[in-house]
Structure 1
């Protein structure tokens, strides 16, 4: 019969037949490493979304305002990442980053809004 070894450190295991780790430290280390590899993309996307929200929040203190498109770009806003889209009955499209949204206007302007509720 082959000797069972800890999935993290490789030390021989003693005890229950279904035991996978020699202690809690190895279990945590193994799972943290595994989750880190799996969630790298999610962390990147969440970081971009948080930055976008922070920029919109800072530029929309009154709940609604107009800014130039270039202002958002200069602050580091990434237009490729949103959390929601809303289209009105008239076909006007708003893109949201959590509760803050924007609508692209003419003349390189952007209408910024904060969703109520």
Structure 2
């Protein structure tokens, strides 16, 4: 009976044993699957999830006190992308804060500079 695969798909070593074997050992199987997965283009879901996580990390870093004002260029220089957010909250003045999980931001123009007002989610915002 002929083998389906003559050599290990990862290291190229000659295979022995079962005729449907593709890898010489579990380590080669894992290494090959990892390599194949890394060569695939990043899926849309992963791109969104990665950007949301990065945005949250940046907002958390620049908003340690619960409220802060930061230049837009500084956040965007760190990789922040305001198009990625999880939800929003509208205050009584009509300002719409965009949130990345528990960290929110509002775009403002102050003295000709684009800035973000950063806040943290509060219980009263649930209404």
TM-score normalised according to structure 1 size: 0.67
1:111 to 108, 117, 123: 117
Structure 2 residue matching 1:103: 3-state secondary structure? strand
Contact residue 85 and residue 93 of structure 1 kept, 8 A: no
Deviation at 1:18, TM superposition (A): 3.2
Write the distance in 2 (CA, Å) between the matches of 1:24 and 1:114: 46
Deviation at 1:33, TM superposition (A): 0.4
Per-residue deviation, residues 66-97 of structure 1 (Å, max 9, x unmatched): 23334434x52422552413253876433333
1:29 to 31, 55, 62: 31
Contact residue 49 and residue 97 of structure 1 kept, 8 A: yes
Equivalent residue, structure 2, for 1:56: 59
Deviation at 1:27, TM superposition (A): 0.4
TM-score normalised according to structure 2 size: 0.63
Structure 2 residue matching 1:35: 3-state secondary structure? helix
Q: CA RMSD in A?
A: 3.3
2:75 to 72, 75, 94: 72
Q: Select between 82-91 and 59-68 the one with higher mean Cα deviation.
A: 82-91
Per-residue deviation, residues 32-80 of structure 1 (Å, max 9, x unmatched): 101222365747x72x55443333222211212223334434x524225
* Residue 88 (structure 1) aligned with residue 90 (structure 2): yes
Q: Using a 3 Å threshold, how does the CA distance of structure 1 residues 8 and 110 change in structure 2: closer, same or farther? A: same
The number of aligned residues is 115
Q: Using a 3 Å threshold, how does the CA distance of structure 1 residues 67 and 16 change in structure 2: closer, same or farther? A: same
Q: Using a 3 Å threshold, how does the CA distance of structure 1 residues 24 and 81 change in structure 2: closer, same or farther? A: farther
